[in-house]
Structure 1
Amino acid sequence: MPSSGKVLASAARSASYNMILQVMFRMVTFLLNAFILRYISKEMVGVVNVRLTLLYSTILFIAREAFRRACLSSPNKNQWAQTINLIWCTIPVGFFFATILSFVWMFLLERPDDAVLPNYDIGVLIFGLSALLELLVEPLWVLGQALLFVRLKVIIEGFAIAGRCIMTVILVQKYPDLGIVIFCIAQLCFTFIYVSLYYAFFTYYIIKNKDDNFPLKSVRDIFPRIIPGAYWADFSTVILVWSFFKQGFLKQILTEGERYMMTIFDVLNFGDQGIYDIINNLGSLAARFIFLPIEESGYLFFAQTVQRGKIAKKQPKESIDLASKALEALLKFVVLVGATILVFGYAYSYLLLDMYGGTLLSSGTGPTLLRFYCMYVLMIAVNGTTECFVFAAMSQGEVDRYNHKMLGFSVVFLTSSYFLTKSVGSVGFILANCLNMLARIIHSIYFISNFYKGSRYSPLSGLVPTPPVLVVFTVSGLITIFSEITFCCNQGIFYRFLHVVIGAVCLLITLITIFLSEKKLISFVIDQWKERRTDEDKKK
């Protein structure tokens, strides 16, 4: 097995590659939606992106997640035959759940109107079959991850995503009347590329590389077999699979809570589901590109700097001093970015959606959804940064208790989302998310306040911009709203351009004000940049 140092380095590379894959997937989805929205209806988007994609992801998650986590926990070359035998159990498990869920999707849930969206049953069968076929890759996926083939996953999934997108674009443009069948063909294209590349790579690797350390000696070893003098599978790993399965089932329900609410409780029609999904993907770009890397890097820094379970007074002075400055700077940065998105996003949501998806997005609830989502982005920014510190500073007991609180937060979210969507439509999902984030932020602020109680540090001051910045945010918001009402967005290109220019000027003034007023943040960034340059010069 690889050494600990190699595993750590590989884990870091794997995290980077996974982030690249997520960014690539989001960008491709963003661009693909911008294209296909001109050819298909919002009801089609709702059925495919919410209903059929949820079926596909649910089958895969239930069938493989527990097996992946258990088989990667302690594999070694002496047990690889048992590990492969066990991971092949994903096929019967997947078939069982694919059969049940496909039946539910076809006969128990609300169906789209066949006259408007024909071939729904074909879509259910194809997406279920696609999930089942992808399970054929699981032994090779686990093997690749365990042996640190870190680029393999990103490359293969990248090619498969590209193939699906190209097929979708071609079919949507050439044969738009095919409807759901377009996305069925594109999904099968993804699955074919995904499965074929995995088997092609490992077949080539096994044949060409006679590596004594590689656990598979022939292509036959990929498949399950009887092991002389040993059990067919390791019993302790089987128990671990069951444990992960129970955890994963709940996690999946909470992760995809919005889509399950839409699908099971029928709180939105298919058109509103499609619009919500598009707005959700569009609004989450900032969270994925800006705040997620900050959150992950921040957690790594605080985990290495702060001693768990000890309040600020009992921390080493140098460490807590640096951690406090970093926390204050991170909070100030994400608040400023989030507030900028909120202030300018409000007045430019309509224009952005009109340019992105045409009247399909801008004529209905789309602009209102995006405006509320801008508020949600600010809460995501604050919650992610405060929680990365909280998780790094909590004792193990506090972490365990917080997991129970998270379950409570999730129940509140699901309950509130149901009642809010019944009352105010798709905006209710965003409001429910905001309530969930607000509860978690309050919990984090309470923890951080107690952590620093009695010390001279006050990193939570980073949550509040300086008065000049607050003033310029307020004035910019009022000016851009007035500009939207006056010039945008049905009076021609010139007035749209004028609206954009006014926003650009306000944004420039806002950035200059931030640079001149937020001196502690600017000073911290400059100091860190100089320190990094000094370290790089020493290495040279």
Structure 2
Amino acid sequence: MADPRKTAAAGAASSASTLILLQICSRILTFVLNQLLVRLVSPSVFGLANIQLELLISTILFLSRDAFRTILIRNECLATSSSTMGQVKISGARKGSTNSVHNLSLLPIPIGFTLTMAACTVYIRYISPEAMRFVPTFRVSIALYALGALSELVCEPLIIRAVRLGHPTWRVKAEGIGVFVKTTSTIATIVIVPRLNIASLQTYLVDERATALFAFGIGQASYSFVILAVLMVLFFQEYGVSDTLDLYIARPDSLRGAEKLKGTTRTIWFDRRTLSLCATMAQQGLLKHCLTEADKFAVARYATLEDQGGYALASNYGSLVARILFQPIEETTRIVFSAQLPALDCTTNQRTSSRPDLSEDAVERVGSMLCGLFRMHILLACCMTAFGAPLSTPFLYIVAGPRWALETSAPTILAAYTWYLPIMGINGIVEGFVQSVASEAQVNRYSRVLLVASAGFIMALAMMNVLVDRSNVMEFVLGKTALVWANAFSLAIRAAWCWSFVIAYVGRAATNKKHTFDVSPRAALPSSSTLVMFALVAAMLRVATPTLMPNTSQLSLTAHAGRWSALRLLLPTLTLTASCLATVLCTVILVERHQLQHALRSLGRAGNQTRKSQ
């Protein structure tokens, strides 16, 4: 009978490339459909939906489920519980787990219900913009977002079991379908519903804002319901209706061993050690969420709805690379790390008790994957910082239209995001590694690092605000981007500590000297010739683009004449960009070809070597 830990590891590693490909396709589709959505709503409504309402639902979901998901997909959960529970064979959808561990995956549902009611009530009464409280569909939209949050929390036991049973692609498929339905239903509601001659609807859909808010609520609820429906269908097909529905019933375990010799049996509903680690991770998660969403909290509190729209669009496009590439890689590697690596105390070189053995093959696979991913991220960082800032305005003009490119702060914020995103990408991998293998003591240690990062964010933001107030030059340089730079500084502190943790873990885990891996920042840097090429391209674009770009009045006038007239004005800038991009690609292919091939093979090799070891 196959070891369930090996089943999860094989499923995670062998599907790494598939997971990344599925998520990339899903996010590209989302981007294409969002292009239509951006042109249908005003900046104020777009800002409300993508800053305030997204912040509301992300807070509910993150605080309710993130700690449980992070811990329960780890192999240590099974090892911990199996050492204390009687060996009861469990088959079907509960296979590879114990009841006391599985019961923990049900906790996000009641926690989320309570948090949803409290958060939505507080938001409606005290936090929401005064102007939006009188929109007829405002409360309906909040209710739809709340229903969507609860539906996603109901999915949580299925998502955790899918990963533990070796089916991590199920969630990606469900989310891909959900994203498509979310965007199409939102667009359809905006375009079609106002044309329906239904008196009850016309009472609520009195203007563009009311229609758009209702549409965003419909889209969010549709997304969540579709994810739940797809996961249910997949589980029904694989394990049957009764076994799937049984996942939502809490069942106890009986503690045997020494107690049984005395003729007694102890009933266990929750595995204490795993629950303690979940609680520790939840405490850390609250602080991490505040740090991650600090910019949205500040923008939602102090910026106008129009400025929120510009910030939302810039962060939307700025995080496009993160959503399309970084996030799939982060989520996939987190599954691989959780499935293949145990907790290892980097200060004592001792594994925590009752942990699975750490194989040299696992260290080799993960070390090779980390080396490749770090190098790829550094190359992408060079591309983003070289091309992003000088081309933010023409990019937004082409993809979002003149209103967003010329009348909002989105281009300036997007330019700053191109420096923030590389740090986000690296941090996603190294922080995912820490959360996948850290012991409870190490999680507590990282919580202190988060406190330092929080202080760094506040200090950096305060310092930049002082500089902006005292200097016109600094106001021109920083503008409305101080939040982005403060976030980048805070995230860099987190990434630095996590990267040092990765170096220490890999160094102590690689007992075989033939399989040592240099995962330091210096090893991830491209060759000097590649770095020089990126520097020259960055300098050329920053000098030439302001000269070649038409001014704002020309672009505004040409926009009314038609899209092609505007594109003709941008043709010199686009030609220069294409030439620089071709030069960079040729240099990377010629100089970095072998390193890139190694990086791409590392994901596939993880799956192949895992299958051979079964």
Give the TM-score, by structure 1 length.
Answer: 0.74
Unaligned ranges ≥5, structure 2: 82-87, 91-96, 195-207, 256-264, 348-365, 469-477, 508-517, 559-565
Partners of 1:175 and 1:62 lie apart in 2 by: 34
**Residues 90-489 of structure 1: matches in 2 within 5 Å?**
90-114=108-132, 117-175=135-193, 177=208, 178-203=211-236, 205-207=238-240, 221-224=246-249, 234-237=268-271, 240-241=274-275, 243-255=277-289, 257=291, 259=293, 262-263=296-297, 266-289=301-324, 334-363=377-406, 364-380=408-424, 404-413=448-457, 416-417=460-461, 426-439=480-493, 460=522, 462=525, 465-466=528-529, 469=533, 470-484=535-549, 489=555
Q: Is the 8 A contact 1:30 1:281 kept in 2?
A: no
How far residue 173 of structure 1 moved from its aligned partner, in angstroms, is 2.0
User: Which residue of the partner structure matches residue 319 of structure 1?
Assistant: none
Deviation sequence 1:414-471 (CA, Å, 0-9, x none)? 554477579666412211123234546776899999999xxxx997383784485234
The more displaced of 52-61 and 522-531 is: 522-531
User: Which residue of the partner structure matches residue 204 of structure 2?
Assistant: none
Aligned-pair Cα RMSD in Å = 5.1
User: Which residue of the partner structure matches residue 26 of structure 1?
Assistant: 27
Q: 1:528 to 1:440 in 2, by over 3 A?
A: closer
User: Which residue of the partner structure matches residue 38 of structure 1?
Assistant: 39
Q: 1:330 to 1:402 in 2, by over 3 A?
A: same
Q: Is the 8 A contact 1:420 1:429 kept in 2?
A: no
Q: 1:526 to 1:95 in 2, by over 3 A?
A: closer
One-letter amino acid of the structure 1 residue matched with residue 214 of structure 2? V
SS in 2 for 1:11: helix
Partners of 2:282 and 2:115 lie apart in 1 by: 15
Partners of 2:98 and 2:521 lie apart in 1 by: 49
One-letter amino acid of the structure 2 residue matched with residue 480 of structure 1? T
Q: Which has the higher contact order (CA 8 A, sep 6+)?
A: 2
Deviation sequence 1:236-295 (CA, Å, 0-9, x none)? 425633541342243244235354554477132333223223222312233455566788
Unaligned ranges ≥5, structure 1: 209-215, 311-322
How far residue 376 of structure 1 moved from its aligned partner, in angstroms, is 2.3
User: Alignment length, in residue pairs?
Assistant: 508
SS in 2 for 1:39: coil
The more displaced of 400-409 and 274-283 is: 400-409
User: Which residue of the partner structure matches residue 6 of structure 1?
Assistant: 7
| Percent identical | 23
SS in 2 for 1:40: coil
Partners of 1:327 and 1:136 lie apart in 2 by: 33
Partners of 1:170 and 1:21 lie apart in 2 by: 25
Of 575, 578, 586, which residue of structure 2 is paired with 1:501? 575
Q: Is the 8 A contact 2:24 2:325 kept in 1?
A: no
One-letter amino acid of the structure 1 residue matched with residue 169 of structure 2? R
How far residue 25 of structure 1 moved from its aligned partner, in angstroms, is 4.4
SS in 1 for 2:131: coil
Deviation sequence 1:339-363 (CA, Å, 0-9, x none)? 3332322232111101111133202
SS in 2 for 1:113: helix
Partners of 1:382 and 1:119 lie apart in 2 by: 41
Deviation sequence 1:359-392 (CA, Å, 0-9, x none)? 3320221111111112223545676789899999
**Residues 41-80 of structure 1: matches in 2 within 5 Å?**
41-68=42-69, 73-74=77-78, 77-78=89-90
SS in 2 for 1:149: coil
Q: Is the 8 A contact 1:484 1:499 kept in 2?
A: yes
Partners of 1:449 and 1:218 lie apart in 2 by: 41
How far residue 120 of structure 1 moved from its aligned partner, in angstroms, is 2.1
User: Which residue of the partner structure matches residue 212 of structure 1?
Assistant: none
Give the TM-score, by structure 2 length.
Answer: 0.66
